[in-house]
Amino acid sequence: MSCRSKKVLDNGYVKLINVSGSDELIARAARVSRGAQWTAYSSEDNGKLINRLVDWEHYTPFEFADVVFEVKCPIYIARQWMRHRTFTYMEKSGRYNYTAFDVYIPDRVIEKSKDAVEDIARSYADLVAADIHQQDVRSILPLGTYTTFWFKADLRNLLHFVNLRASLAAQPEMQDYANAIYDIVKHEFPQTIHAFEEYCLNTETITTRAQTIIQKIWKMTPNKEEEELVTEQVNETYPDLDEFAKAMLVHEVMGFLL
């Protein structure tokens, strides 16, 4: 497939519908503050400026570029996606269309859910054959059913979406969609993506507690398994934390060390 469309999961996809703006436009928007938006600058100069904007967290100029995508994904992924309220959405309505019984079930649960999904598929087909209204028939569909929607996002908020949703902390299927979006956008805004990868992507802010544990570990020559050592240091340094807080701190430190 072309760089403007990518298949995701078994029957899903992301498709770039429209692009507004460019790296040059972003650089021009940044120069408005100095009255230099119509001065001619080289592509190299624009790239250097974009690097500085990202490094200094001056993100407003990136809001002058935006993209429109069509997405086909399971409903449970769409609901995570639509938590990003800075995007604009239009979704295919189940009130006006019978939804094809097109369901994604992760391999990690498919063996235990196969019979249940087949039962729902038969019930759904029976209701459609009985000419039950679309808005009522959809009520029995599982969250793994594919839905289709368009979204519009400015580049600043799209890259924030990628940073969150392509993270290893995100659900695997969500990561697949975020990475597909990213693979397409990088062809449209190469200088912005270069700066994003240099200064933002996969960077993390860690808590003061985690920094304390990491500094103590770096001063040691551990003979134990790394996670065992981290757990030991968390218990020793913060004995008053409850077990959940300790577990979260161990997870944070391990995420940094790995």
**Residue ranges per domain, the chain?**
5-92+144-199, 208-257
Q: What is the pLDDT of residue 249?
A: 85
Q: Report the 10 Å Cβ neighbour count for 115.
A: 9
Average pLDDT over residues 181-210: 84
Say what the pTM is. 0.77
Q: Exactly one of 52, 122, 156, 165 is catalytic; name it.
A: 165
Class of the CATH domain delimited by 5-92+144-199? alpha beta
Q: Alpha-carbon distance 72 to 105, whole Å?
A: 15
Minimum mean pLDDT range among 57-71, 76-90, 122-136, 153-167: 122-136
Strand (E) or helix (H) holding 237: helix 226-237
C-beta neighbour count of 83 within 10 angstroms: 10
What local confidence, expressed as pLDDT, does residue 224 receive? 53
Per-residue DSSP letter, 4: T
Contact call for residues 184 and 14 (beta carbons, < 8 A): yes
Residue 61 in 3-state DSSP?
helix
Q: Which residues partner with 89 through β-bridges?
A: 151
- 91-123 pLDDT, tens digit each: 998 888 777 788 999 988 888 888 898 899 899
Mean pLDDT of 151-175: 93
Q: How far apart are CA 49 and CA 41, in angstroms?
A: 10
Binning pLDDT at 50, 70 and 90, where does residue 2 land?
Answer: very low
CA distance 29 to 27: 5
146: confidence class by pLDDT, cuts 50, 70, 90: very high
Is 28 marked active-site? Answer: no
Q: Is the pLDDT of residue 47 over 90?
A: yes
Indicate whether 221 pLDDT > 60: no
